[in-house]
Each structure stands twice: as structure tokens, then as C-alpha cells.
Amino acid sequence: MARVLLINPPMVDELGRYIDTYQGVRPKLPALGLAYIAGVLLKAGHQVRIIEGMAQFYSLEEIARISASFDVVGITSNSFLALLSHRVAKAIKEKNKQVAVVMGGPHATVLPQEVLQDKNVDFVVMGEGEYSFLELVEALSSGAAADNVLGIAYRKADGTVSMKERDCCDDIDAIPIPARQLMPMHLYRSSEVRSRRNPALHMLSSRGCLYNCSFCCSKTIHRCRLRMHSPARVVEEMHTLVKDFGAKEIHFWDDCFVYDEKRVYDICDLIHRTGLDIPWDCEATVDRVNPTLLKTMRAAGCFGLSYGIETGNDERFKKLNKGWLNLEKVRQAVAWTKQAGLRTRGYFMFGFIGETLQEMEETIKFSKELDLDYATFSLLAPLPGTDDYKRAQASAGFDAHYWRHRLLAEISFPLDPVYSPDGVTKERLLRMHRKACHSFYFRPRIIIRHLLSLRSLENLFGSLKAAYTIMMK
């Protein structure tokens, strides 16, 4: 039996100070990837602890002290916050050079060789890490070499990097339900504008994505393969969230929840037959919804859908590898969703490669025309492994290795964009982003609609905090 410590790095700067640039309204969401890995390790008989730095404050010194009691430490990493992961690795190695430090997550998957340039990292787990990490732990605990473990990268004795790919798991129902019991579930919260009742908890019903959006690295991590949990597994996990963790609301995170129409009907039917009474919402793609499906979802407890719309320009859809989409299809899907009595949210972005200020104005106009209940406006941060990252490298002034010295803690309320299109200054891009937030939310009908939808004093205070952040930022 091995003792394994899994870490979601804490939001602290190089001086150990807590980072919260959202002024107290930052959502605290569980690192489900670590919980999935923990579930597999526990099933195999290993001892596991999770440090959830996004929900609880831990100093680097405290993490280093705790790590001394473990054989293997796994750290998750994404490009926005990669610096945090490497700071944790350094603190651990300074305290205990013998412990094996493993890094995984999207950033490590896309850039394993760069991650291994950090001598404080011994191994990288690439892609979906449950079984690669398990096999690595068991090899290390038995004193065996890691040569035969698939899905990992590591430095060989001659300094070169060995990488061995692993196919994605096709039967994701075989993966245990995430070990949420190891996480501080009482501390998590969704965004102030998304959740209506707390605790509002999150889950995934699928892995991968069949789409190929230019700004997303899912295709690199999951190889564009979509695998879906069975309806029985989905509803089982929903019951677990309600029974074991007191969920009053469930949010599905996966991009492709509605991709398989029959599966959605079967999930809704099983929700009814098992007596599950819980409100839920999901992410959805515009091309996979229809009026009958939406009404069925509403009857099964769904209260809202979020669509990745991105832009208000038909030509831009093609440049984003979303040529199957157009403004009229978006209008129709949003109208159907509203007619079904479901809450609507649209995700939009600014600062695409080659985007003009005129296109950004079109996006703002379109977001308001749709009469969405909520809109989220973000700025493009080109991620390694995406088409947009490759294109951004040709732009003057783009720092192609920004993650080495920057934390991108602000996505919805950025203060310093990592990228701006040629011909558009960062200052002008920020002004456009602020204009979008203000012009969408500070309209009389939106304000009145949100006031009428408040369900509690908690909702009221949360909405006021969110509004204050928008105004101040």
C-alpha cells in the first residue's frame, strides 16, 4: 500500500499571500480530476489524501510539511495557474527530496517536456490520468522501474525524456465515482449568478468532445473522442450528491451533455422513475437541442442551459472551427430554450486572432439581441495545444511562454490580457470587455428580471456582490 497525496495548488503568490482578484465572488469548484484519481487509488487499496488549495488556504510550508508523510505526491496543473503548481513542487522537494513528485492536468499533458525541465518534477501523467497514475504509484511502491507504465513522461538517466502514450478509457462507467469524501465539500460554491440554491454541486456525465474549437485544447487531451456515462451511472451519481453531500442543485460541467439525444431522454426518464427531485442545469451545444428535448429536460428538473456562442459574426464562426454554427441557429436554439421555460446563458469571447473592434461590437449587440438571462464575456488566452496558440505566435508582442512568469487568475474580469489582436491595444480590448459587461447587465429589463428571480436573501447578497464586482472592475 502506498501513501499518496494529491494537490490542487493554493491560490498564493510567491510571498505566500492569498490571491483573490474577484473581490470575494470567485467560485470555488472541486478538482474532480483529483477525486477521480483518488477513487481509483482507494479501490486498489492505497491511502490517499487530497489538499484542495482552491477551497482552503494552505501555505507552501504547510504543504511541504504534510508531504513528508507520503510516498508519492500528485499535483494538478493548468496553463492559467502553472506557476502555482511549480511553486508547490519546489516547496515539497526542498523539504523532502525523496518523495516522488508527479504533475498532471491539461498543462502537463500538452507540454510534458517543458514541465520536466523543472527538476522538482519527477514524472508527468499525460491525458486522463486514473490508470496511468495508479500503475505509476504501484511501480514506485514496489521498487519497479516506470518503463512499462503507459501515459507518463519522465527524464531518463541520459537526460532525455521518455514519453509513452496511453489510449483513453472507453468504458468510463468502470471508473469509480469521484472520491468527494476526501474533499471539503462544504466549502465549494458555484458562481453567484449560476447557483440558485446551495449547496450547488458539480459533476461530469461524459469525457471528451467531438468538436474542434480553435481556442480549446480538449482535442489534445481527449483526442476528440467523446465517451459518455450510461444513464444509470449518471443518475446514480446524482443520487450520491443528494444523499451523501446534501446537494440542493446539480451542475453538469461537460460540454456534450445533450450530444446523444436518446441518452438525455433516458436520463430524464430514470430521474422520474427513481424519484430524484433535484434542480439541475447543463452546458449545451446549439446544434443538438430541439423543442421536445428541452421540454422533457425541464420536466425532469432542468432549469437552465448554457451555450458556447462566442461571437456575433457569422464569418468568425468559420475561423473558430465552428462553421456548422451561424447566428440564425443560435437565435433559434435560444428561443426554443426560453419557450421551454429554461434559463439561458451565453458564453462570449473577445480578442480572437485577427478580430476587429467592429466584430466585437457585433458580439455585444448580438448578446443583447438574444435576450439571454445571463452572459459571460471572456478574453482569449491562447492555450498551448490549440490552433489559436499556434496562430498567436505570429503576432507581435505575444509572450508565447506567459505561464512561466504570469498567473492568469482573472478570466471573466481580466486586468492585463495575455493576448490582443494585431491593431487592437490591450487598453482598447479591456474597454470593449467592460462595455460588454455593463451594457448587457445594466439594462432595466435585465435588472428587473433578476430581482424577480431572487429566491432568498443569499441570492440577493450574491447578486449584489457580483454586480459590485462588475461595476468596480
pLDDT tens, position by position, 65-90: 999 999 999 999 999 989 999 999 99
Residue with cell 446524482: 238
| 273-320 tens-digit pLDDT | 999 999 999 999 999 999 999 999 999 999 999 999 999 999 999 999
Residue 124 has pLDDT above 50, yes or no: yes
Written as nine digits, the cell of 353 is: 486572432
Beta strands 100-104 and 72-76, pairing class: parallel
Average confidence score pLDDT of the chain: 90
| Torsion over CA: 88, 91, 96, 98 (sign) | positive
If pLDDT is split at 50, 70 and 90, which confidence band does 406 have? confident
CA dist 63 to 10, 79, 98, 383, Å?
9, 21, 15, 28
pLDDT of 23:
47
Query: What domains lie within the chain, and their CATH numbers?
Result: 3-161 (3.40.50.2300), 189-472 (3.80.30.20)
- pLDDT of 462 over the 80 cut: no
pLDDT tens-digit readout, 316-344: 999 999 999 999 999 999 999 999 999 99
Please check the confidence at residue 62 and state whether its pLDDT lies above 60: yes
Q: Is 41 helix (H, G, I), strand (E, B) or coil?
A: helix
Residues shown for the chain = 473
The percent of residues above 70 in pLDDT, for the chain, comes to: 90
* pLDDT computed for residue 99 by the predictor: 96
Can you spell out the DSSP letters for 81-134? GHHHHHHHHHHHHHH-TTSEEEEESHHHHH-HHHHTTSTT--EEE-SS-HHHHH
pLDDT at residue 151 is higher than 80: yes
Average of per-residue pLDDT across 381-406: 93
How far CA 323 is from CA of 214, 223, 388, 435, in Å, comes to: 11, 20, 16, 27
Contact 383, 111 (CB under 8 A): no
pLDDT in tens, 436-453: 999 999 888 777 766 666
Residue 153 banded pLDDT, cuts 50, 70, 90? very high
